[in-house]
Structure 1
């Protein structure tokens, strides 16, 4: 993840936190959790506000979380009571294997030239039959805003990218409206995948 993206989240951490911490993710949790058992180990990859880590932790899952932004690590640690790790996708490595990896709106800043390597790193930390949730802004394009690069996928582009990772199989691929206030007309592509 490039420094300009990390700088953005460090400088705008409180605004980002306030805009995302109360977003209703219940539909996505339900789709993800049906593939897990109570007590499963979950990695929240690029945890942002810590909203999802807190949910999974209170539901009885064993949660590890990381984020590339120091400021977001501090805020998410305060929210969850967990020891959130400071790491970038390109550098993170846990020795434990996870039953689930949750990457909500976090991989979208990884460029198309680097996404396969980052996903492979995460897949290597996933147990066989483990489940992987990820989401991207909807569309087959790359654009820049506020110093951040956004890597967006539609169903076809996403499926082609996943074909380069033979250990992953798509279970669900679905489009939803952005659930944050003031984001009318914006859509996301979410995916539930399994490691085979």
Structure 2
């Protein structure tokens, strides 16, 4: 069994924001499999799907981004999932909009949801998919207002192209592992 976690903030006012791109990816997966999310045995919502004989739990922490680790640990304990079987999907301000980067492990890189998961797990040895949200000419005087801001119409078009790729990459990770997914989906930014 694999656990694919999309990071975001749970309130509806955060829907459509750059910070909720992790939710957007797993929402796309849930919709494509026509499996709705339901409340879990912790502060999370989940949907269970099967893809190529692999059970996959899609997880949306219902904590705020900065406390995502609590929901991740609760789900890992409930489903008896090991660290090597999780993939965390989050936004990344350091990557250009419309790109993705898969890694087997690594630092939080300034992403507070990842930071809290690392704190709760005790190390950074879990797979993650970072989805780029940086705009080329965007001055970033306030990181929080930018990441919590809604996508512009142009950004929405870019996201509509990358979200299906991210969903496919999450399925690839689930069936073939992080190395295969990295080799297939990590491409240099254009």
- TM-score, with length taken from structure 2: 0.35
Compare the two structures and name the one with the higher helix fraction: 2
Compare the two structures and name the one with the higher strand fraction: 1
